[in-house]
A and B are shown apart, each in its own frame.
Chain A
Amino acid sequence: MIDVFQILNYFFGIFSSDMMDIPLIAPIVDYLMQIPLLNILVALILWKPFFAVVIMPGLVVLTLYLLYIVWYERKLTARVQWRVGPLEVARPIRGAIQALADGIRYFFQEAIVHREAHRPYYIQLPILAFIPVLLPILFIPAGSAVGIYTPYSIQLIVTFIALIPITIVAIGWASNSRFAYIGSVREAFMYFAYEVPFIIAVISMVFLYGSGDAYVAVEKQSAIPGALLNPIAFIVYIIAMLMATSRLPFEIPEADQEIAFGPFVEYSGILFGLVMVLAYEKLYIMTLLFTILFLGGWSGIYCPLLGDLNGPLWLFIKSIVVISILVIVRSIYARYRLDQALRIGWTSMLTLSIIALIIGGAVGVWLS
């Protein structure tokens, strides 16, 4: 028994040494910290690395964001089309839990594995695809809260983002259906079209800040945000983000009118629920990186009542605003053909990204 208490005390010491300091809930935290066994749970939740990864901007707000963005997108599209959108499920809050109802319905539906599928991969891959989607959260800092601090965080995040399409191509391959095959090939083509300009745009910003450290990047943007320091990289990043997450002008791999959701056509039930949110989660991760690189990251008006929560909150609010602006393209643009998108990627975007690289180098010399 003594050993157990010693171990618990050891962990409590680690957790309580580096806790989020939030004056708003400080009395409650102080009260809970006096209760044995419960205090270790509270200390764990408010432990900065845990808080960054699991609470904010990590998994909990990611779930909330998913519920919000699906509803918001449907509501916005409905508004553009002079409709009402999801409403009756919860009238007082304008149907805001529609995505929850859809998720529950998917969860209790049959997950069909068709005869032609490569069975083990078909079932594993939707779950495996979450590894490259969720791992970047470890390295995304939000103010003082960060999962794992590293001076190469921006490069690491880009690396993980570049891994995501591989899982989608593998999903299409495991489905072994003709629409899934066409979707996979389109996804692979699009991957080559956006990935090179995207990485060059990020490298230009790394040149500009002189470091791959997110803290340095945010510190250098204290006067002028990165969007004004290197507007060309800003544009290239936005277009690459639309391409990477299959938003509508570039919704080529998942075009549901042509190839019926492409790689995901055979999935049903909870497996489809998992693969459907992949693109939204990718959008979230890319927007967090976008906010850090171009919009000043977690810097904002400091509210003394929130203390350490200021950083994560500002990062989250900025990301949500950016995403909410981005989803409007879904309801107002038509879809490009594959060859048009490839031409955009390999000509104008590549040229723009190289110009951005030169600007990034020049401004970087001026800043340092």
Chain B
Amino acid sequence: MDEFIDFVRGGPLGPIKKWGTRWSLWPVHLVTACCGAELAHAFACGYDGERIGALNYGIARQTNLIIVEGAITRKMARVLRVTWEQMPDPKFVIVMGACGLEGGLFWNGYHLVKPSDVVPVDFFIPGCPPTPEALLRGIRQLQDKIVTGEAKTSATFSEIMLEQGRKPRVLPKSPKKVSKAPAVLVNVPKQVEWEFGEKLVEELKAKIDAKSITITGKNRIAVKVERDYIPKAALKLRDMGFDHVKNVNVVDVPNEDKFIVEYHFSSYSVKELMPVVVNVFADVPRDEPEVKSLAKIFPSADYLEREMHDFFGVVFEGNPWTGRKFLLAPDAPEYPLRKDFKLEKEVYVR
């Protein structure tokens, strides 16, 4: 931020301000990823960042430098901004790592924000993760910027020319062709020696009005039902001794125009059923993704249903959280894990 640099350098007391600020850059660090380990290394006995006057400090109110380590998601962006606004002027920002620079590993993700959109950044330190030397060099560069007033890059990369005659990558054109075979199969039968399982399948067949019941592996049973029948099946399973929902899962199958909603049941109380996982699943049409909620019957399903509603937009009727964002940031785009979710277009600059 140039006005802070101008403040530090300007006025009749400029040299004193410059000197004091230069040798007293206390970083408060906002760790969201693995770069925190490198920061710890940079301030531990190997490299000792305190040599150059940078004392690592935990409290934003009393510092003047913020080191952002790692990817900034939409939720963390608010935290970053609050932290930055807590700090007294003049203050500086260093962003560390590839994630903070352009997204890095999470490049073009729906949940990512560039730190430079949130706060004015003085220096970026590239690397995944950057070495402690690179971090300390970033702090030295900031010191130089305070002294000379102009930001210089200290890392120069050799430019590699693209080979002549090499064709650029061609992406398949829309509409993309898809095979007619079913894309996702949840109940692939498998031959296993499991006597108790066969007994259990007989019991299930007697009790549940299922489309198909298959053994998909040792201790794994898949039960296909109609989507309105899921709560009744769940009540039957509860009577049999299955006492919790382990997982709620949604599979998006756009070429068959359906979601597959899976509930995995297991038991903590009956010893024989403890290793067994029963997968009760149903096909749900994509244009009307509605399933009856199991939150009233199994409270452990509540959290998972909210999460699936966040990511896929499947409506769980009866779940009180439906219609609101649960895990995602309030401004996150709708239903990011659907297959037809549009990311920002990839742009290559030559």
Contacts and interface: CB of A to CB of B under 8 A. Distances in A.
Given A101-B19, A101-B53, A109 B90 contact: yes
Interface stretch (A36-44, A76-84, A198-206, A234-242): A76-84
Interface string B48-68: 101111010011011010000
B50 A85 contact: yes
The 3 residue pairs across chains A and B that have the minimum distance between CB atoms? A104-B20, A110-B88, A105-B24
A98 interface: yes
Interface string A232-251: 00000000000000000000
B20 A112 contact: no
Interface of A: 74, 78, 81-89, 95, 98, 100-105, 107-112, 256-257, 260-261, 265-269, 272
A84 B58 contact: no
Given A85-B50, A108-B21, A256 B89 contact: no
B161 interface: no
Contacts of B86: 112
Contact of A88 (B17, B53, B58, B64): B53
B329 interface: no
Contact of A105 (B45, B48, B58, B64): B64
A88 B88 contact: no
Given A101-B24, A107-B20, A266 B89 contact: no
B194 interface: no
Nearest to B17: A108
A86 B59 CA distance: 20
B196 interface: no
B341 interface: no
A180 to B, nearest CB: 11
Interface of B: 8, 13, 16-17, 19-24, 26, 44-45, 48, 50-53, 55, 58-59, 61-62, 64, 86-90
Nearest to B22: A101
Nearest to B62: A272
Contact of A102 (B24, B52, B88): B24
A74 B50 contact: yes
A101 B48 contact: no
Contacts of B61: 112, 265-268, 272
A88 B52 contact: yes
Contact of B51 (A84, A102, A107, A110): A84
13 contacts: A81-B45, A83-B48, A89-B52, A100-B20, A108-B17, A109-B89, A110-B90, A112-B61, A112-B88, A260-B59, A261-B62, A266-B61, A272-B62
Contacts of B59: 256, 260-261, 265
Nearest to B87: A268
Nearest to B20: A104
Contact of A111 (B13, B21, B88): B88
Nearest to A260: B59
Given A86-B51, A112-B88, 6 more contacts: A83-B44, A101-B23, A103-B20, A105-B21, A108-B8, A110-B90
A86 B88 contact: no
A84 B136 CA distance: 15
A85 B51 CA distance: 5
Contacts of B19: 101, 104
A83 B45 contact: yes
A74 B24 CA distance: 14
Nearest to B61: A268
Given A81-B45, A86-B51, A108-B17, A98 B88 contact: no
A108 B90 CA distance: 9
B89 to A, nearest CB: 4
Nearest to A100: B20
Contacts of B89: 109-110
A87 B51 contact: yes
A265 B48 CA distance: 26
Contacts of A265: 59, 61
A358 B87 CA distance: 53
B303 to A, nearest CB: 29
Central interface residue in B21, B50, B52, by most chain A CB within 10 Å: B50
A89 B8 CA distance: 18
A98 B58 contact: no
Contacts of A102: 20, 24, 26, 53
A267 B89 CA distance: 13
Contacts of A268: 61-62, 87-88
B45 A89 contact: no
A82 B45 contact: yes
B48 A88 contact: no
A268 B13 CA distance: 20
Contacts of A111: 88
A88 B140 CA distance: 11
Contacts of A112: 61, 86, 88
Contacts of B48: 78, 83-85
Contacts of A89: 23, 52-53
Contacts of A110: 88-90
Contacts of B13: 108
Nearest to A104: B20
Given A101-B23, A268-B62, A88 B51 contact: yes
A278 to B, nearest CB: 15
A260 B64 contact: no
A173 B132 CA distance: 41
B50 A86 contact: yes
Central interface residue in A81, A98, A105, by most chain B CB within 10 Å: A105
A11 to B, nearest CB: 35
Given A104-B16, A269-B88, A86 B53 contact: yes
A245 to B, nearest CB: 19
Given A89-B23, A268-B88, A109 B64 contact: yes
B88 A109 contact: yes
Contacts of B16: 104
Central interface residue in A101, A267, A269, by most chain B CB within 10 Å: A101
Nearest to A266: B61
Nearest to B59: A260
A89 B53 CA distance: 7
A316 to B, nearest CB: 27
A326 B329 CA distance: 49
A296 B290 CA distance: 86
A265 B44 CA distance: 25
Contacts of A103: 20
Contacts of A269: 88
B68 to A, nearest CB: 20
